Every structure is written in C-alpha cells, then in structure tokens.
Amino acid sequence: MTRRICLHGAESTGKSTLAPRLALRLGGLVIPEYGRTYAEAHGTEFDAVDLLAIFDGHRAATAAGLTERPEWLISDTDPLMTQAWAIMLLGQRLPEIDAWTDVADLYLVPAMDLPWREDGTRLFGSDLARRQFMDVAIGELERRRLKWAWVEGEGDARIDNALAAIEAAKLG
C-alpha cells in the first residue's frame, strides 16, 4: 500500500526543496507541482479554466505515480492548493475541486520561516498576502478535517522535523 504525503501551504516555503529530500530519505516517488509547470508554460493570469486544467494535471500525475506502486508518494502540492488559488485569485471555490476526495494520508505545511524568493510564478510576496494565502491553504485542510503538521527549520532541521511529523502520524 502506498502511503501519501503532500506538501501544502503558501508560496516560497520550501515545498519543492523538501519534496525530493523527503522522497530520498523515505525511498519514495515525487509528484512535482503541476501548477508551476502549467504557469511556466501558460503564464500566471489564471482563470477558472486554467485552475481546472491544473486540477486535472495534478490528478493525472498522481494517478501515473500510483501505477508504479511506490511505498511512499510525496506530492509537491495537490488539488487542495489549486482550490486555495481559486479562493485567492477568483474569490470563489471550484465545485469540481470540492467534490475531489483522493486526498493524502498526511499534509505537511512548511512554516513561513524561510525568506520569500521570486521565481516568476509566485504572486503573493507581501507579508499580508503571504499570511492570507497560508490561512486559506490551512483552511482547506481544516474544512476537510485532514491530518496535517507544521514543518519548521532550515536545511537538515526542516527535513528532520518533516520526518518526525510523519513518524508521529504513525505512517512510517
């Protein structure tokens, strides 16, 4: 049985750095952030059609990864973050994402204890916008009553804290 971890939360918190490091330590497979791939190809002027395309991309990448039957699947975000984008950018929830139920076993939320870094796909760099985005992201987890944990620290401390959260959740 594949155990699934998803990195979730505001931009520029180290999710894309943490995902491969976790996969390496756990012997798992990484599902990259599809929203970043989409934004790099199409820009960041997202509407509902774009966000639903990202939603479909997440689902397809996850399904493909699961066919490999990894012991661990580490997702660098999932459709719940796409819903957070919909709330932030469009001021509305997308019903298709609300109906989605293929959630991870544990969500790891990296704290905003790393500096903001612009990369051409990020939109919420001010302290206020970043905090609001994090609140919306956590709200998605809370609304669904999903298991989640904070991950803090820099470098090795961050990976150690992530592994401790996984152990505490009794997944490993």
109-143: pLDDT as tens digits: 998 876 666 665 556 667 788 899 899 999 999 99
What local confidence, expressed as pLDDT, does residue 115 receive?
Answer: 65
Which parts of the chain have pLDDT scores under 50? none
Concatenating the DSSP letter of every residue in 33-66 gives -HHHHHHHHH-S---HHHHHHHHHHHHHHHHHHH
Indicate the pTM of the whole model. Answer: 0.90
Q: How far apart are the C-alpha atoms of 157 and 165, rounded to whole Å?
A: 12
What local confidence, expressed as pLDDT, does residue 172 receive?
Answer: 56
What local confidence, expressed as pLDDT, does residue 118 receive?
Answer: 64
What local confidence, expressed as pLDDT, does residue 99 receive?
Answer: 97
